[in-house]
Structure 1
Amino acid sequence: MYCLELAGEASDEAFAILEAERAAATAVDRVAPGLATARGVRLDRVPTLAYTHHVSELVGRTDASVESAVALLTAASFDREGSVAVRGRDVRSSSDVSTSAAERALGGVLVDRGFAVDLDDPDHVLRALFSADTCLLAWEAAASVRDFGTRSPTDRPFFQPGSMDPMDARAYVNLAAGPALPDATVVDPMCGTGGILLEAGLVGARGVGNDAQWKMARGARENLAALLPDADWDVVRGDATALPLRDDAADAVVFDAPYGRQSKIARHELSDLVEGALSEAVRVAPAAVLVADRPWDDEAEAAGWRVDDRFERRVHKSLDRHVLVLSRR
């Protein structure tokens, strides 16, 4: 069994669990605020997760007190040796436990069992996770790479307002293509500045982008050439309702539909554009994630998709993102 430390806010937990389950883990179950367990984990995929911080091998679960954590560790059996450090967390500040006291007490148990303490470069890290009335003890196994801030849309060679946050773009790629990663092809039929394609490339997928505007297609190519110089990707100018791709050319489609109530985008009405893109997406891939400023459930089902999951995520007070996780019906 494994323990997952979830990123984001409380409202992101279901979203985070599904991302982990689609891209890296099996049988994920929330056990406390910010914490989940999983039966199995592809540890090599953990660094690419957006909404999971750490994955650790579970020692056991008890109530949220230092005394109970010490009793659990004392009774536990594990086959490890070398140096160790204990890292305590009060997850989302939801318990009254002193993490420094927990680290000292648990460290004492490990010293008594023959471990040397090395806080700088230990062979093993024991994570003591206190959340509400629950404590999980677990040996750290893998962590996600939290470098999203280095890829701010405003720092790219080509920038346009409204570009998606890299952390969210990564999560949408994992939701759509997770089971096929890293050997996946991901299509974005409305690629804009290329943010979704960038995250697809960084998790090992081949990105294929399309945009109706020459400016956006050129800009996406510029960004990908600068930030993914060695990756396999392509961007073309074209109509999202008539993609220049053969049937089943990809493993997943991910796209961020135009926002607002504007009557036309390029030569299409907004509803015609999204409906047409959904119909093309179901032709070229068996899975998709659609992000939009309103629900498109009926249109997705009419195009041949099944809505497996849906999320409504607050961006700011005047914008909620509706996220549909789709599979070909």
Structure 2
Amino acid sequence: MVYRPLGDNGTRVSAICLGTMTFGEQNSEAEAHEQLDYALAHGINFIDVAEMYPVPARAETSGASESIVGSWLARQAREKLVIATKVAGPARSVDWIRGGPLALDRANIRAAVEGSLRRLRTDYIDLYQLHWPARNQPLFGQGLFDPARERESTPIRSQLEVLAELVAEGKVRQVGLSNESPWGVMEFLRHAREFDLPRVVSLQNAYSLLNRTYEFGLSEIGFRERVGLLAYSPLAFGHLSGKYLQDPAARGRLTLFESFGARYAKPGVGGAVQAYARLAGEYGLSLTQLALAFVYTRWCVTSTIIGATTLSQLQENVAAWDLALPPEVLAKVETLHAVHGSPAP
């Protein structure tokens, strides 16, 4: 396993990160612990969770993923692991979390951190991320920016100020963003520089063969400003495993949970998946191998977040790390990308 720097405080994270959004919904605590044990045994030191997990988000299970990770973490060497979690932002249907939440203000962020620390059974969080912007911003495949949807939101400087307090108190080691735009990342960096506030070290955004929007604008920011990409959904919610090609009704998040994964219901997704599946077959690869090996080897990716509902899926995902795609395969990927673009932005 390769370990890459995250920020400037000496933290090094494995190039694969274990995602936990199925823990407590599709995976029991015992199954989740089995996955965590396997990941650790194969050199993965980076675990990503969120206060609103598992998904789909609902009151009955909210916080379960953190609690499951916490019960496992309690018997580990804490200093050898990098634990990331996230605070839920406003303007989504999570009314059971702090009554909304209504804002990413001091009260909400502090309450979220204390809840995560309690469930994770730890006294510090290595990477604390804002799960999505507080301001008006199209998210999760919603489409184009719409000025008509403007609303009041906690200013970026105010968000960073409370994060600065938490860093000073030792409850948070570093801070990051998720589902952010180029403008948002640069504003967080500008405020950190101008007001001596914590500098964001990472951006967790979707990145896959079906969604390479990060490469336009954000990749240059990541390179020049040293903001690491934590790539999520490298298998595009299972589409790039190929299972929905074989059986559109295959068991998975998209079929188990209605209206989940709207960005993958767009018209160009099916054709792109078929094209990449044909390419994989030409070279004796599974579609999963092609999709993961592509993301694993991109220069702009600090760590790839993988998630699984079975141990065998996790084993296949981790094994893909050792696969080197030949130059001609990568060239053909670029040809397909020129044709299909990013159909699931």
Structure-1-length-normalised TM-score: 0.28
Of Structure 1 and Structure 2, which has the larger fraction of its residues in helix?
2
Which of the pair has the greater relative contact order for Cα pairs under 8 Å at 6+ separation?
Answer: 2
